[in-house]
């Protein structure tokens, strides 16, 4: 059969939140870039397909990063003893202003994409800057890499530094131009509407972006309730709204299964209801929330309330692009939540966090992040031999060890939508 092949190894993934599916020495059959099934014994019809045997190695879904800022890559690890606003003004905004320079942008983007590839992230959602041309460049480079991504030109027309403020009409027209040019251009790399956040976007701009998102059926990403100062500012700017989330809703920016809101550290019960009803995805960014003293997002509560949640690096508020490191950080802050709730609010287990890091965020991309039938085949092959001193660990324990103490060097192969992706030559 053509377009059909198999991959053999110790397979571990999730279908349901918190429950591992484990097939040791199993075979994943892929047809036309999608999973047909996971087997211990191949059905007769597949007896003659090519099988790549990875022996004792682990095979897991690729990691999904629901929120990161490409132009902040050069600032990773800088200024992280500051709070959100001082950090934005000293480090972030001056850096973002540089991306009018395409040569500089190209140099940074190439290094960023290689790093994203190396850490085993197969799909991500990216904020660029306000600059249209550098955003096009980033879309083109990502497509060349073979990785999947939604990439947005940032919109900001108020409460912004002079070096980064847009004229409202220009912001709108450039956004439309980008969307028309890129919405159907690439298979795995797409544009996304990206108002920076309410404070930096006039309601006129937000409303227009909502209309564009509707007219061209484009997804949306922004920030929500990261920090108390930010929420106060939104209250001042929008006394007509009952809360921060409602501002986005009034602008038709909360689209069913098509909107990502980063952070949600301080969302109230009313906002949680709205996020659930609108099927919004929350990008949980614990490393960033810790580094910038924002707090701990109520992830267990959001999940119990049926809100979609995925994990995200949020560089460079976050200091690492590694989703396994974000999993570790998510576990740690959920341990503190448990402690602060007098041991009532249950901790997130490694299996639950692994789900969020793969299928949880993958849902935003369609059938991505699992090895269930008809899922796009995004996978990592993990050689964890240097992490093992004992040889009697279960597959689940080996995965946990890799997530906590492994690194890029343990990831020996990366598949995206059925294709083996080698280190990007850009």
CB of 302 to a second copy, least distance (A): 19
Q: What angle do CA 203, 207, 209 make, to 5 degrees?
A: 115
Closer residue to a second copy (CB): 4 or 395: 395
Task: Give the distance from CA 246 to its chain's centroid.
Answer: 23
Closer CB to a second copy, 47 or 343, in the complex: 343
Cβ proximity to a second copy, 243 vs 328, nearer residue: 328
Distance CA 225, CA 321 (A): 22
* Nearer to a second copy among residue 247 and residue 348 (C-beta): 348
Minimum CB separation from a second copy for residue 47, in Å? 39
The region, left, alpha or beta by phi > 0 then psi within -120 to 50, assigned to residue 293 is left
Q: How far is the CB of 79 from a second copy (least distance, A)?
A: 8
Residue number, 82 or 279, with CB nearest to a second copy? 82
Which tokens belong to 245?
Answer: 């989330």
Beta carbons of 124 and 65 less than 8 angstroms apart: yes
Query: Judged by CB, which is closer to a second copy: 224, or 321?
Result: 321
For the bound state, the minimum distance from the C-beta of residue 343 to a second copy, rounded and expressed in Å, comes to 9
Minimum distance, C-beta of residue 349 to a second copy, in the bound complex (Å): 5
Task: Please say which residue, 59 or 265, places its beta carbon nearer to a second copy.
Answer: 265
Residue 72 structure tokens: 């902040």
Q: How far is CA 190 from CA 13, 38, 257, 274, 415, in A?
A: 26, 30, 16, 26, 19
Q: How far is the CB of 313 from a second copy (least distance, A)?
A: 12
The position carrying tokens 């301080």 is: 266
**75: number of Cβ within 10 Å:** 21
Query: Minimum CB separation from a second copy for residue 163, in Å?
Result: 16
Count CB atoms within 10 A of the CB of residue 344. 8
**3-state secondary structure at position 215:** helix
Q: How many helices (H) and strands (E) does the chain have?
A: 15, 17
* 63 vs 182 by CB, closer to a second copy: 63
Enumerate binding residues for a second copy (CB under 8 A).
Answer: 73-74, 76-81, 107-108, 111, 287, 290-293, 295-296, 319-320, 328, 331-333, 335-336, 338-339, 347-350, 387, 389-390, 393, 397, 400-407
- Distance CA(315)–CA(68), nearest Å, equals 5
Contacts (Cβ under 8 Å, ≥6 apart) of 102: 133, 134, 137
Nearest to 134 by CA among 145, 123, 142: 142
Q: Shortest gap between Cβ of 389 and a second copy (angstroms)? A: 4
Bond prior to 246 in cis (omega within 30° of 0): no
């Amino acid at each position: 059969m053509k377009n059909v092949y198999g991959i053999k190894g110790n397979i571990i993934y999730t279908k349901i939140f918190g429950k591992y599916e484990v097939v040791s020495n199993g075979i994943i059959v892929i047809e036309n870039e999608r999973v047909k099934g996971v087997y211990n014994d191949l059905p007769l019809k597949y007896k003659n397909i090519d099988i790549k045997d990875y022996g004792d190695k682990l095979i897991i879904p690729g990691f999904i990063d629901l929120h990161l800022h490409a132009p902040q890559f050069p600032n990773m690890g800088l200024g992280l003893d500051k709070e959100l606003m001082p950090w934005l003004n000293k480090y972030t905004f001056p850096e973002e202003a540089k991306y009018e320079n395409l040569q500089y942008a190209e140099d940074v983007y190439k290094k960023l994409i290689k790093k994203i590839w190396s850490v085993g992230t197969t799909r991500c959602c990216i904020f660029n800057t306000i600059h249209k041309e550098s955003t096009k460049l980033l879309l083109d480079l990502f497509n060349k890499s073979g990785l999947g991504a939604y990439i947005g030109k940032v919109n900001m027309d108020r409460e912004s530094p002079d070096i980064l403020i847009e004229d409202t009409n220009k912001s709108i027209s450039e956004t439309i131009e980008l969307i028309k040019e890129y919405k159907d251009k690439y298979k795995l790399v797409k544009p996304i509407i990206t108002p920076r956040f309410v404070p930096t976007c006039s309601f006129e701009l937000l409303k227009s972006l909502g209309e564009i998102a509707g007219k061209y059926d484009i997804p949306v990403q922004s920030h929500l309730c990261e920090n108390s100062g930010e929420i106060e500012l939104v209250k001042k700017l929008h006394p007509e709204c009952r809360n921060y989330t409602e501002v986005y809703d009034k602008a038709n920016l909360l689209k069913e299964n098509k909107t990502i809101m980063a952070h949600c550290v301080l969302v109230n019960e009313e906002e949680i209801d709205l996020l659930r009803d609108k099927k919004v995805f929350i990008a949980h960014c614990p490393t960033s929330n810790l580094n910038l003293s924002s707090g701990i997002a109520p992830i267990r509560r959001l999940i119990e309330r049926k809100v979609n949640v995925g994990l995200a690096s949020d560089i460079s508020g976050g200091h690492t692009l590694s989703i396994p490191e974000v999993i570790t950080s998510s576990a740690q802050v959920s341990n503190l939540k448990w402690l602060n709730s007098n041991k009532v609010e249950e901790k997130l287990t490694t299996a639950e966090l692994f789900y969020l890091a793969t299928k949880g965020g993958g849902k935003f991309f369609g059938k991505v992040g699992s090895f269930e039938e008809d899922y796009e085949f995004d996978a990592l092959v993990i050689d964890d031999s240097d992490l093992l001193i004992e040889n009697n660990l279960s597959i689940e324990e080996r995965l946990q060890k890799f997530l906590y103490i492994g690194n890029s060097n343990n990831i020996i192969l990366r598949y995206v939508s059925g294709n083996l992706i080698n280190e990007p030559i850009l």
